[in-house]
A and B are shown apart, each in its own frame.
Chain A
Amino acid sequence: MSLKTLWHKLGSPRWFYELSGPWTTGFGVAAALLLAVGCVWALAIAPEDYQQGNSYRIMYIHVPTAILAQSVYMTLGVAGVILLVWRMKLADMVLACAVPFGLWMTALALVTGAIWGKPTWGTWWVWDARIVSMLVQLFLFFGLYALREAIPRADAAGRACAVLAIVGLVNIPIIKYSVDWWLTLHQPSSNLLTGPTMPSEMYLPLFVNIIGFYCLYAYVLLASLRLEILRREEKTQWVQQQLQQPLPQQPQAV
């Protein structure tokens, strides 16, 4: 199938729904396996840090969530452009479904960062450049969430969120730069990448966890997209047929 026909076919929620079933399962299984392997490796097998002891292990959650938070915002910006230019229904649904996940990832990154900060920096919170950029990102995600909640009509809400996501995407580099420039001017930031480089025994589980979190993102996004498709196309015949099929793993009523 050529790229162009794929692009046109993505315009059909039904086609996407039928295609995405196995992919959802695949990403779900991959996420479970990778995160299980990564977490056991990270928590039990990876060596202790000679400075931070065991407390550094929260990094294996903190770093992937922080990376994911930024990736999710990128997805939103791209989906916003696609929605405004091509009016693709699927892009609207991506905009709706990815926001809660991004909000959670940003919040998790901030919380795990605070927990990690207590033993290593001696304080839960500092006004460090990276932390503040993350906090701004949390507000941007929340703005998208609140705007969608506030606008009653679904298609108008989607396009309004698209405009906001694009404006946010243009602004994020400026915000990041300004915060970096201002807050690191006065206090040196302690961060992971410029610190002592990690040996591979420590780095590899982190890598596995990052890939695992990406798979989790794909799984959550696809699963919620499928649900959203069913909800929005409720009146169509094919959804009615889908809904009438008995679910295989439905528990018996007692």
Chain B
Amino acid sequence: MSGQSERNLSLNLNQGSQGLSKRLLRSQLGRELRILVRSPADVVNPLMFFALGVMLFAVGLRGEREVLAEFAPVVIWVLVLLANLLSLENLYRRDFEDGSLEQLVLLARPGFLAVLGKILAHWLQAGLWLCLVAPLAGLALFLSPDQAGFLFITLLLGTPALSLLGSVGAALTVGLGRGGVLLAVLVLPLYLPVLIFGASAVLENMAGFSTSAQIYWLASITMLALTLAPLATLAALRISVEQ
């Protein structure tokens, strides 16, 4: 036993900082997921909001089949943006209040990996579930199964960008008493390209056109956000923690 643990230790030492970063990301993600499992309301509330929004649109449009199918991609994408936005408030709030956010900013090295762990957990909490529920909503709004499946793919590519971009806004407003409306004003303009490419991909797919351009754009926006947003978030968190 002791031989093996020594080997593990030396393995970790050999891996050097890379191994440490991996462990940091894993432990941060593990912590967030444990918190998530213990507070299921954080998962359920955005989904309920989303379902309510779909219902309001469907009833408001008198449940008419052609109209609903025509508007479904845009309605679903807009509701996904808003549900995501609502769940952002809690992304850093609790950690800010109990002081663990300060520890994270001060101690975690490299800090952007710890932030990335938090953002990834947020995506698993809000984005992934919305991705899973949205195709069902699509079916309820009379999309064909193929179209609903395609909607799922666009959401899967686009929602990580929402969590990443939104995390910058959440980090900037976390120190403020009521950041809610301000958060929406800061974040929603940045969401516009994701909405355009996501919704237009589904619309063009329904009309039978090629949608590779939108898919590539969604993927590249997500990749760009993945590289830059954690750094911006970290800078914003440093400012928020100081005040």
Contact = CB atoms under 8 A, between A and B. Distances in A.
A84 B235 CA distance: 9
Interface string A144-185: 001100111100100110011011101100110111011000
Given A147-B172, A166-B232, A182-B200, A140 B239 contact: no
15 contacts: A136-B189, A140-B189, A143-B189, A146-B182, A146-B185, A150-B176, A150-B182, A151-B243, A156-B175, A159-B239, A163-B236, A164-B172, A171-B193, A174-B221, A175-B190
Contacts of B224: 174
B64 to A, nearest CB: 23
Contact of B196 (A140, A166, A167, A179): A179
Interface string B180-191: 001001101110
Q: Does more than half of chain B's interface fall in helix, strand or loop, or is it mixed? A: helix
A160 B189 contact: no
Interface residues of A, number: 29
Interface residues of B, number: 29
Interface string A112-151: 0000000000000000000000001001101100110011
B59 interface: no
Given A142-B185, A146-B185, A150-B173, A160 B192 contact: no
B212 to A, nearest CB: 14
Interface of A: 84, 136, 139-140, 142-143, 146-147, 150-153, 156, 159-160, 163-164, 166-168, 170-171, 174-175, 177-179, 181-182
A221 B232 CA distance: 27
A171 B190 CA distance: 7
A182 B196 contact: yes
A91 to B, nearest CB: 15
B243 A179 contact: no
Q: Does more than half of chain A's interface fall in helix, strand or loop, or is it mixed? A: helix
